[in-house]
C-alpha cells in the first residue's frame, strides 16, 4: 500500500524538477516578449566595390563580426535589393524575404 504512494510522490517530484530545469535552462522562454538581448541584427548594404586583386565586393555586412550563442536569433535586413540571397554555411537560401528601408 505504501509503495504505490511513494511512486506517485517520486513522479510528482520529478515533474516539478523537470519544470524547474526547463524554465531556467538555456532555452528561449520569453522570445517575442521583449527579450531583445538575444536578437542580433545584420544589415546587408550595397558596396559595388572592386578589390586590388580585381575581385568584386557586391555587398557588405554591418556588423561584419558578431558573437552568437546557442539560442540567439539573427535577423538579416537586406538593403541591397538587387541581390537578395543569403548564404549560411554551405547552404544557400534563395529568394529570402527583403525588408526594404
Helix (H) or strand (E) run with residue 10 in it: helix 2-24
Average pLDDT over residues 52-76: 74
Average pLDDT over residues 77-92: 60
Domain regions of the chain by residue span: 30-93
Residue 13 has pLDDT above 70, yes or no: yes
Average pLDDT, the chain: 70
Residue 84 to residue 88: CA distance in whole angstroms? 13
Average pLDDT over residues 13-23: 86
pTM, rounded to two decimals: 0.39
Residue 39 to residue 44: CA distance in whole angstroms? 16
DSSP characters over 23-42? HHSSS-SSTTTT-GGGEEEE
Amino acid at each position: 500500500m505504501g509503495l504505490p504512494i511513494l511512486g506517485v510522490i517520486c513522479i510528482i517530484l520529478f515533474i516539478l524538477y523537470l519544470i524547474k530545469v526547463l524554465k531556467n535552462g538555456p532555452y528561449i522562454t520569453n522570445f517575442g516578449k521583449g527579450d531583445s538581448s538575444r536578437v542580433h541584427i545584420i544589415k546587408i548594404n550595397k558596396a559595388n566595390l572592386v578589390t586590388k586583386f580585381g575581385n568584386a565586393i557586391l555587398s557588405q555586412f554591418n556588423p561584419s563580426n558578431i558573437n552568437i550563442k546557442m539560442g540567439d536569433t539573427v535577423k538579416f535586413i537586406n538593403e541591397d535589393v538587387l541581390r537578395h540571397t543569403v548564404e549560411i554555411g554551405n547552404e544557400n537560401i534563395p529568394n529570402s524575404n527583403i525588408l526594404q528601408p
